[in-house]
Copies of this chain bind each other. A is one copy, B any other.
């Protein structure tokens, strides 16, 4: 464990261009731009394909080789002196929420690219190759289960397990994946899994701590655990004007009782539980027809695995009581246990920040990230930068150009030292 960074690391950090990085962030945000200033760039969509084409063009302009794997994870390599050494990887994802912002995901990908260019500008050769990565479908905004690309790369999930997933637009994931891969027929194909030396993911905090403390950067120590599931409630349709309320099997009213019971289950005076019902789909969704079917999503997160397990074990009994006389079905979609990042790589990030003169916090992540899966394959950690008001998954999401540059400096310095034997 070093307490400082090498001269090369410092030199690379000094070549980070705030202007160049910001320009790329704005260029990428133009793809899938929403009229309200936000971004809608669903995974494997036309916009995603356009974003990939832009990234590949930038890679070619810098003399880097782009490649892709079967899960459509996009890789850009800056070669090392030892061509076959396990690479050091940095990146994040380019898909967004349907009403997302310019920085979630995009920042991590472009900070990694900026770090590689800064090394070029500083004339630095590393022993290990450096790989930038843009993982496929982190958000789960189009296809329910997020972190598709990173979970396949990590070996946690077989790609085949995702292929039949149906997107909110009715498209099968396999078909969207094929369209995306066919858009870049000339890219070399990487293996689905390969050994790596380390993975670093820069990201906006998506919470209020750094901004409130006026701290420009954080080394992320851990990610809280996640349980996602869909609840389907089955009732009986009928005429709203004629059917007496007492005899109804109204799927929406059953869902209403279910939400009340879930709110009680998730009640937490310490406000550590994160519980969100973000998607509701009603059928037939006509004002004068009693709802026949309601689907709602549950997003439940907690840093303590035992809390996740205990509360989830109560959901079935609770729904049984709340939804009667309707019936129900619970379908888990994503399950990730809390993950602690290795101490030495977290320390290295903090040391890089310190050596470059930046105050550095240590934070746990409330959101999950591709790093959660990457950590299963190689030592991993994350860099957080502040975002305005802690706001994310929102068109108004915002990070300051100076903070974007600080995160990229810490990344560049850390990548240089991680990739030097």
Instruction: Check: A144 CB closer than 8 A to any chain B CB.
Output: yes
Q: Which of B139, B236, B241, B252 contacts A366 (CB 8 A)?
A: B241
Q: Is the CB of B256 within 8 A of A99?
A: no
Q: Which of B206, B242, B256, B287 contacts A228 (CB 8 A)?
A: B287
Q: Which residues of B contact A275 (CB under 8 A)?
A: 245
Q: Does A271 contact B (CB under 8 A)?
A: yes
Residues of B within 8 A of A259 (CB): 256
A239 contact set on B, CB distance < 8 A? 206-207, 366-367, 392-394
Given the interface pairs A241-B368, A245-B268, the reply to whether A279 lies near B278 with Cβ below 8 Å is no
Which interface class (under 10, 10 to 19, 20 to 34, 35 or more) fits A? 35 or more
User: What is the oligomeric copy number?
Assistant: 2
Q: Is A286 an interface residue (CB 8 A)?
A: yes
Q: A280-B252, A299-B287 known; A241 and B367 CB under 8 Å?
A: yes
Q: How far is the CA of A236 from the CA of B244 in the complex (A)?
A: 36
On chain B, the residues within 8 Å of A168 by CB distance are 285
**A286 with B279, Cβ < 8 A, contacts A206-B241, A241-B301, A367-B242 known:** yes
CB-based contact B284/A97 at 8 Å: yes
Determine whether A26 belongs to the interface, using a CB cutoff of 8 Å to chain B.
Answer: no
Interface residues of A in 236-254 (CB under 8 A from B): 236-246, 250, 252-253
Nearest CB in chain B: distance from A331 CB, A = 12
A283 and B367 contacting across the interface, CB-CB below 8 Å: no
Residues of B within 8 A of A226 (CB): 241
Question: CB-CB < 8 A to A268: which residues of B?
Answer: 245
Q: Is B241 in contact with A99, judged by CB distance below 8 angstroms?
A: no
Whether A240 touches B278, Cβ cut-off 8 Å, given contacts A245-B268, A256-B260, A288-B140, is yes
Question: Which residues from 372 to 402 on chain A have a C-beta closer than 8 Å to any C-beta of chain B?
Answer: 390-394
How many Å lie between the Cα of A97 and that of B283 in the bound state? Answer: 11
Q: Find out whether the CB atom of A299 lies under 8 angstroms from the CB atom of B292.
A: no
Interface residues of A in 191-249 (CB under 8 A from B): 205-207, 224, 226, 228, 236-246
Name, among A242, A268, A290, the residue most crowded by chain B CB atoms within 10 Å (CB to CB): A242
Given A271-B246, A392-B238, CB of A287 within 8 Å of CB of B278: yes
A37 within 8 Å of B by Cβ? Answer: no
Shortest distance in angstroms between A202's beta carbon and chain B's nearest beta carbon?
16
Q: From residue 287 to 302 of chain A, which have CB atoms closer than 8 A to chain B?
A: 287-292, 297-299, 301
Please report the C-alpha to C-alpha distance between residue A333 and residue B287 in the assembled complex, in whole angstroms: 11
A39 to chain B, nearest CB (A): 12
B289 touches A393 (CB 8 A): yes
Question: Are B279 and A282 closer than 8 Å at their CB atoms?
Answer: yes
Interface membership of chain A positions 134-158, coded 1 if the CB is closer than 8 angstroms to chain B and 0 otherwise = 0000011100101000000000000
**Cross-chain contact A242 with B286 (CB below 8 angstroms):** no
A274 within 8 A of B: yes
Please give the distance in Å from A389's CB to the nearest CB on chain B: 9
Q: Is A85 interfacial (CB 8 A cutoff)?
A: no
Q: Which of B139, B281, B282, B289 is A288 in contact with, Cβ under 8 Å? A: B139
Give me 19 A-to-B residue pairs in the complex whose CB atoms sit less than 8 angstroms apart, sorted by A's number: A98-B284, A98-B285, A99-B284, A99-B292, A139-B288, A141-B288, A226-B241, A239-B366, A240-B274, A240-B276, A240-B301, A241-B274, A241-B299, A241-B366, A242-B392, A253-B263, A256-B259, A288-B393, A289-B394
Across chains A and B, which 9 residue pairs bring their CB atoms closest together, nearest first? A242-B366, A240-B276, A287-B297, A241-B367, A99-B284, A207-B242, A289-B393, A239-B392, A98-B284
Q: A224-B241, A239-B392, A243-B390 are in contact. List 5 more A-B contacts (CB 8 A).
A: A239-B367, A241-B301, A287-B299, A289-B393, A289-B394
